[in-house]
Amino acid sequence: MAHQCPLCRSKKSQPYFKNNDASYYSCTRCDLVFTPKEFHLSEAAEKTRYDSHQNDPKDKRYREFLSQVFNPVMDCIQSDAKGLDFGCGPGPTLSVMFEEQGYAVDLFDKFYANNQSIFNNKYDFITATEVAEHLDNPGNELSRLFDMLSAGGVLAVMTKILDDQVDFKSWYYKDDPTHICFFSQITIKHLAKAWDARIQFYGNDVILFFK
């Protein structure tokens, strides 16, 4: 049975992998690997898992992890830029790092900072760190973020990229039940083409989309 791709809406998907926890499909159009809705956690179970995350702005190692996004964004924004940390989680930290440098940053998280008014705003930079893989409607949700950028703005996405070097069967990233879609470079380039965006990859996990 083919499942509709949650990113590009193609109905041409093919079985990719199956275990006792879930079945995964690969989109033949945009290369997204995803698991259908019947394998998604309930919102209550999803929040319970997020509640266990111990993200602390004072944690040096966590800051070093986030610097993978922070440093590239800092290199391409002006001193008066306004930002949004989308999917900030229970312990917003990336926003604190930008605020320490004098930037104003709004927060959004469907569980911890559900401020719907941010969707009426325009931003010079938007960060989505370890968010994309959780989205059940990534096509609409990422496109909405890109549309919220001002001209010349940047959307920074951090997620583990799925490539030929990954042994999906043993890949730890898929074993988190809140991770329901996985992006390859082909998927990223598909988004960039759809948005008419310029992209820059930083390492294996960070992509900047420029409007």
Q: Per-residue DSSP letters for the chain?
A: -----TTT--S-EEEEEE-SS-EEEEETTT--EE--GGGSPPHHHHHHHHHT----TT-HHHHHHHHHHHHHHHTT--TT-EEEEET--SS--HHHHHHTTT-EEEEEBTTTB--GGGGG--EEEEEEET-GGG-SSHHHHHHHHHHTEEEEEEEEEE-PPP-TT--GGG-GGGGSTT--EE--HHHHHHHHHHHT-EEEEETTTEEEEE-
Do 184 and 200 meet the contact criterion of CB atoms below 8 Å apart?
no
pLDDT at 1: 65
Whole-angstrom Cα Rg for the chain:
17
CATH numbers and ranges of domains, the chain: 13-210 (3.40.50.150)
Would you tell me the crossing angle of helices 138-147 and 185-195 to the nearest 10 degrees?
Answer: 50
pLDDT at 102: 97
Pairing assessment for the beta strands 198-202 and 206-210 based on DSSP bridges: antiparallel
pLDDT at 56: 80
Do 5 and 30 meet the contact criterion of CB atoms below 8 Å apart?
yes
pLDDT tens per residue across all 211 residues of the chain: 679 999 999 999 999 999 999 999 999 999 999 999 999 999 999 989 888 877 788 889 999 999 999 999 999 999 999 999 999 999 899 999 999 999 999 999 999 999 999 999 999 999 999 999 999 999 999 999 999 999 999 999 999 999 999 999 999 999 999 999 999 999 999 999 999 999 999 998 999 999 9
